[in-house]
Every structure is written in C-alpha cells, then in structure tokens.
A and B are shown apart, each in its own frame.
Chain A
Amino acid sequence: MRTLLLAFALALPLPALAETHDHDAPHLTEIAGLRALHAWTRASPGREALVFVELENTGGGSVLLTGAESGIASDGALVGFVLKDGQPAWETLASVPLAAGRALHLEPGALAIRLSGLSRALTEGDHFELHLETDHGALALHVEVAAADARQHSHAGHSH
C-alpha cells in the first residue's frame, strides 16, 4: 500500500513537469523503437504543408514508413525532393524503409511528409497532431509551426 501510494505521488506531478518543459506537447515520440524528434513545418496560408522531422530506428528490426495522416489535412504522403527542369518539385514515395540502428532526416531539400487539402491556415506558433504510418502502427508527431521562411526546427541541435 505504501509503495502504491508512493508511486501514485511520484506519478502525479509528471504530466505537469512535461507541460512546463514544453508548452503542451513533447518533442520526442516513439513507437516500436522508432523515435521522432522535432517535427516542424512552415507557416503557410495555402492548402499544402511539408512536415519535417528527425527519425531514428532504435529498435531491433527494420521499420517501413508508409504514409501519414492528420486531422487538419485531407491527404498525407511521404515525398522526396527532385529538381525537374530547374523547377523544385516533390515526388511521392510509396514507402521508405528504415533499417535498425539507422537515422533518417526529413528535412528541406530532401524528404518530407506532405499534407495536402489543409482545412486551415498554419500560423507561426501553432501546433497540430500528425500520425506517421508505419508497418508497426502509427507514430504520433506533434508538429510545431515555425516561421514561413524557417530552414530548421527552432530546437534543432538539442537532443531531448
């Protein structure tokens, strides 16, 4: 009983701690060893947004990324940057495997999650939820909306 109480007492302040550390959502999420850190996107009034995130497979097996979905978008997909006729473009990738122990940086000029059919404009400082779909289930990402001309996450370089 004492231990239970102690555990209860210890557990109580934890969500509060998380809150003070970081507004309302954690930077780091994980599923089956797949960790996602610093999901971010750029403020935009348009119908499309590119979401960037640092992924690391700390688990024992390979993980297959297959897509994404979010409540604020009608569609989500993994896309890769290409330069076509001098015009930047993003090509849809059906799936991307991530081997055990490897990292994958979704970043400008490389890989991204493209959300299309956004139901609202994204303004700097906003947050929204996104689910990265994998063969091991969906990984929740808490996406932070950065400035319209941001090149990286505001906490990039920190390791949480």
Chain B
Amino acid sequence: MGLPLTISELVVPGGKGRVLLSLPKLELPAGALVGVRGPSGAGKSTLLYALAGLLEAEGSIRWGETELLRLGAERRTRFRADNIGMIFQDFLLFEELDAGANAALTALFRPRRERAAMRLRASKRLSALGLGDHAGRHVSSFSGGERQRVAIARAMAAEAPVLLADEPTASLDRASADRLIDDLVHLARDSGTTLIAVSHDRHLTDRMDRVLTITDGALLGDEATAA
C-alpha cells in the first residue's frame, strides 16, 4: 500500500537568501496518482527531490507517520531505500550491466537474506513490463522505452509505497511514451503505490488523479483531473 503525504510550511532554501520552493500546505492520500507541471526551473524537480529527502528544507514533510526532515542523513537514506522508488528522465541505468542486474540494483546494498527475494521481484516486474525475455541483455542495446521500463522495475523492486518520477517520458518518442504511461499507471494503481510524477507531458498528467501546477517556487494550481 502507498503512503499518504502531508506537507506544511515547507520552504526549500536555495542559498544566498533565495527560496527555491515554498509550499504552505499539501495533503495527498495514500495511493494517489499526482502529476506536477509548470515551466522549467519553477521548482518541480526541487519538490521531487525534497520529497525524496535529498534536499535540506524547513517545515514538515510527513510520509505516513514519518517526519522526513527530522531524520538524519543516513536514516533518510534508509527511509528512501525502504519507501521511495525514483525514476529519471534519462533513466540513469548502468550501461555495463544487463537488464536484470539493473532492475535488481538495490539488492546489492540490502542485507544478504533479502537479496534473493529482491531479485525475484525485480525479475517479476521486468516480466510484467514485457521485458521478461530480455533480462540477460545489456541495457546498452535497449531502446529508450525499454530502458525506462528497466528503471521502473528498479524503482519498484523494493515494493516501495511511493514512486517519484522526474519527466519519465521526456526522452521517449510518442508511441513509446504512451505505452510507458499505460504501464506505469497500471502498476501504480494495481499495487496502490503513491505516484508523484513531474512532467510536461499532458498524456501523462491527464492520467493522474490530481495535477499540481508550480510556478516560481509556489503552488499555483491543484486540480482534480477527469480521470
């Protein structure tokens, strides 16, 4: 199951007194699918990284019962490993490894007893994403769509209740992007995962429950979609 998110009085400073993002209040229920849009440099990625606990900020980011900003660096990392899967625009795969190894990457720093189960889940995710027969192929021979599927399998291998995606379709052609959106939405809904996706792609944001609009570091719009 996903985690609910409660944000209050969040301020992400940008150094020299600047404020990158300011979010007085936001609440998302567990399992919500949320799109984030807005112009480049408006603070969308900053929001995503702050939600992942990768940025120092003031205020409160609460995932379920966990007050993220109160955790120390290593506890936050631990929380991320257990609860948050991340997907990036340019996939960030290890080109030298095959698809299976990339999908099961996080097993490498898991306790030995969890590794086998993790690899199994990763390979199931790959199969669910239509790459079951290609787990042994090096990802350098994959198309963009296939790569992003491997990245999704990697993000979901730990059965993280939260999925954060940063422009997941921006590097894909239209057809691949649409197929990927289908898969991502289905997987998230089937597993009840909370999905927050920063995207310019209307095909993606239209499939979300809600769409937030961020401009100049502030939340300007919060609308439910028809879907």
Q: Indicate yes or no for A touching B, C-beta below 8 A.
A: no
Binding site for A on B (CB under 8 A): none
